[in-house]
């Protein structure tokens, strides 16, 4: 991987259900990372997409009386692509597993594993969860009151299947995977997920069934078209087919390896099966697999089947896109499970966005308009208080960058929010509204307002990866003539050292986050 490149992926989402905020959570997190890396000058590529093969899709299409491809096309265009617009995702590519570029790549990859001796024909029987599209081990099953075995995740009956399939020699990669985890402690993150994966692999891996022959909705095995590729194996390969593996070697070398952002429930596929497949194919393993936690409603994982699915569109309509993005990245520690409630999002919206950040921007801008005719004053009387603010800003931006590099998104936002709190404290101490009453304090007043405007400038740039629409509004109100996205690549990291031109005219600042009162 070339220095300064960053390739980030979300899971490609199974299209059988409409999107809920659990899906949006992964999207927004990956988008934040992509926007930040772009802003600091990294050669960045962001991928998302949809997983459209498998028995569950086939059954749903049949129930709707539609061919599976038509069923998939409808869902992608009416539900999944609109999700990206609804939450302002800046992805560079959107891949579908039914695209020719992907299916061709899957066939090449599987053929390579076969030619290298890692695939054999055998017989297998076990309990299969159609919702997970996965064979389940005994610990992954629970019994209901009638003694039926259920998937522990979906609480639905697991079906016993017995098939003659092709198998991948996953068992041969137990020690190579343990060596990978030992040599690269950050390969699986956070630490709690890494420990889970290591514990699982240490138990010894079993060979993996990688084909099905009881239905035909999938990518056909190249040497035996009576079988199709197991949907999870098919899906994982998207991360390399999307960037031209086997077709565009230059682009593949430029982008790979990737940082995968996934939910913890699919971590084993990405941190165990996927790197083993890549090792077998002679391809470099991913840079990192980060397994974030679940969004919980009433203590349960969010899902349509349990009645806890919440539409992202409903929340963005009520609170705005930026508030949606901010809330889920700051209120929930990235990597841990987090409880979601409308009461919490509303409380944080009012306290942190409306009263904290929005009110700060409003009153600083209003005082600049009132006291300096809407122009940026010159700071000629800097003192110890300004040095404190400057140090705070520099530490916050550099600290946030370190947190982003560690994929601690919540920690990065907490660092940046110290600027909001610090500027509010600075204004309370300096009381510019009192300084304005005495002409003798003109220089001091100019310094306080200039210092505050500079703080807003830094916030506009540094918060743009999480609240891009609001940051742009603030940026324009500070007199910018070009968008934040058009800034030179070093502006985010050097935002603390930049400067607003003295005498430049401010623009109009709308209310960034109107307070929400008594919302049902």
Structure tokens given for 173: 């990669």
20 is catalytic: yes
Annotation marks residue 102 as catalytic = no
Judge contact between 484 and 461, C-beta under 8 A. Answer: yes
Instruction: End-to-end CA distance of the chain: give it in Å, rounded.
Output: 50
**Alpha-carbon gap, residue 2 to 75, rounded angstroms:** 37
Is there a cis peptide before residue 257, judged by omega within 30 degrees of 0? yes
437 catalytic per annotation = no
Catalytic residue among 301, 330, 365, 401: 301
CB 118 within 8 A of CB 152: no
Task: Mark whether 151 is an active-site residue.
Answer: yes
Is 330 a catalytic site residue? Answer: no
List the one residue out of 288, 272, 112 whose CA is nearest residue 207.
Answer: 272
| Residue 223 CB neighbour total at 10 angstroms | 13
User: In this structure, what token pair is assigned to residue 360?
Assistant: 């700060």
Q: Is residue 402 annotated as part of the catalytic site, yes or no?
A: no
DSSP state of 157: B
Asked about 387 being catalytic, the answer comes back as no
Give pairs for 454-457: CB < 8 Å, separation 24+.
454/393, 454/498, 454/499, 454/500, 455/364, 455/389, 455/393, 455/419, 455/422, 455/423, 455/426, 456/360, 456/361, 456/364, 456/365, 456/423, 457/495, 457/498, 457/500
Give the distance from CA 34 to its chain's centroid: 9
- Whether 235 and 262 have beta carbons less than 8 Å apart is answered as no
Measured distance CA(160)–CA(166) in Å, rounded: 18
- Annotated active-site residue in 37, 102, 151, 270: 151
SS3 229: strand
The CA-based angle 456-462-466, given to 5 degrees, is 110
Which helix (H) or strand (E) segment is 124 a member of?
strand 119-129
Looking at 53, 102, 129, 415, which residue is catalytic? 129
Question: Cα separation of 351 and 328, whole Å?
Answer: 15
For residue 254, list its beta bridge partners: none
Helices (H), 76-226: 81-86, 100-115, 174-183, 191-202
Q: Which residues contact residue 452 at a Cβ distance below 8 angstroms, ignoring those fewer than 6 apart?
A: 364, 367, 423, 426, 427, 432
Distance (Å) of CA 211 to CA 85, 158, 233: 35, 19, 9
**Of 20, 53, 56, 102, which residue is the catalytic one?**
20
DSSP designation for 194:
H
> 193: cis peptide before it, omega within 30°?
no
Residue 154 annotated to the active site:
yes
Choose the catalytic residue: 132, 287, 292, 401.
132
Catalytic residue among 155, 169, 220, 304: 304
| Residues annotated as catalytic (active site), given as ranges | 20, 23, 129, 132, 151, 154, 301, 304
């Amino acid at each position: 991987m070339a220095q300064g490149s960053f390739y980030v992926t979300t899971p490609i989402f199974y299209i059988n259900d409409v999107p809920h905020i659990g899906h949006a959570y992964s999207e927004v997190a990956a988008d934040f990372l992509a926007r930040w890396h772009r802003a600091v000058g990294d050669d960045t590529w962001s991928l998302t997409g949809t997983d459209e093969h498998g028995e569950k899709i086939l059954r749903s299409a049949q129930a709707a009386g539609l061919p599976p491809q038509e069923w998939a096309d409808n869902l992608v265009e009416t539900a999944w692509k609109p999700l990206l617009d609804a939450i302002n995702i800046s992805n560079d590519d959107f891949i579908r597993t039914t695209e020719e570029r992907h299916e061709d790549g899957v066939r090449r990859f599987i053929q390579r594993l076969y030619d290298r001796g890692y695939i054999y024909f055998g017989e297998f029987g076990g309990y299969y969860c159609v919702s997970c599209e996965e064979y389940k081990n005994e610990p992954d099953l629970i019994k209901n009151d009638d003694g039926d075995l259920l998937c522990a995740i979906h609480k639905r009956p697991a079906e016993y299947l017995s098939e003659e399939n092709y198998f991948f020699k996953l068992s041969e990669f137990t020690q190579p995977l343990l060596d990978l985890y030992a040599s690269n402690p950050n390969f699986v993150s956070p630490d709690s997920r890494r420990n889970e994966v290591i514990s699982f692999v240490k138990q010894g891996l079993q060979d993996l069934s990688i084909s099905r022959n009881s239905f035909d909705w999938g990518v056909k095995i190249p040497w035996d078209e009576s079988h199709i590729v197991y949907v999870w194996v098919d899906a994982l390969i998207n991360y390399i087919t999307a960037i031209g593996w086997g077709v565009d070697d230059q682009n593949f070398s430029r982008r790979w390896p990737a940082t995968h952002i996934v939910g913890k429930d699919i971590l084993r596929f990405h941190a165990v099966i996927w790197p083993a497949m890549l090792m077998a194919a002679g391809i470099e393993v991913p840079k990192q697999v980060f397994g974030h936690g679940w969004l919980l409603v009433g203590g349960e994982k969010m899902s349509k089947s349990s009645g806890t699915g919440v539409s992202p569109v409903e929340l963005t309509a009520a609170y705005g896109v930026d508030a949606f993005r901010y809330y889920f990245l700051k209120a929930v520690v990235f990597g841990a499970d987090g409880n979601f409630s409308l009461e919490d999002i509303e409380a944080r919206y009012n306290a942190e966005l409306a009263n904290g950040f929005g009110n700060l921007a409003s009153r600083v801008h209003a005082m600049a308009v009132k006291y300096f005719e809407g122009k940026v004053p010159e700071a000629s009387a800097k003192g110890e208080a300004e040095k404190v603010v400057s140090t705070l800003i520099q530490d916050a931006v550099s600290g946030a960058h370190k947190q982003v590099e560690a994929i601690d998104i919540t920690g990065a936002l907490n660092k940046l929010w110290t600027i909001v709190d610090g500027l509010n404290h600075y204004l309370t101490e300096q009381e510019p509204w009192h300084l304005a009453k005495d002409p003798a304090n003109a220089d001091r007043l100019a310094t306080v307002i200039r210092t505050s405007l500079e703080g807003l400038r830094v916030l506009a740039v540094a918060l743009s990866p999480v609240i891009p629409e609001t940051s742009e509004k603030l940026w324009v109100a500070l007199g910018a003539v070009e968008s934040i996205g058009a800034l030179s690549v070093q502006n985010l990291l050097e935002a603390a050292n930049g400067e607003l031109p003295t005498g430049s005219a401010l623009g109009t600042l709308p209310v960034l986050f109107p307070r929400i009162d008594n919302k049902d």
